[in-house]
Amino acid sequence: MSSSPGKTNSRKKRADYALIPSVQYILLVDVEERRVELDRREGEDWIRETLTDEGELDLTRLDVTLDMDDIYAG
């Protein structure tokens, strides 16, 4: 994601949310381009998955799969 003020604020919020032990996923949806970033907690670590254009995100702990087309629909 580029470094506009809004995206810088998103990075700060992401870091803040990551400090909350009960947070398992952090999902950022870019409104300027078709791009989604999912941070997934794995023990003490965070794993980032980035999708552009097409694909699905599997949020296993929530029993949810998100498709890029659904995220950006209407």
Annotated domain spans of the chain? 5-71
Tell me what pLDDT residue 11 has.
82
Q: Specify the pTM.
A: 0.81
- Point out the residues of the chain with pLDDT beneath 70: 1-8
What is the reported pLDDT for 14?
92
- Give a three-class secondary structure readout of the chain: CCCCHHHHHHHHHHHHHHCCCCCCEEEEECCCCCEEEEEEEECCEEEEEEEECCCEEEEHHHCEEEEHHHHCCC
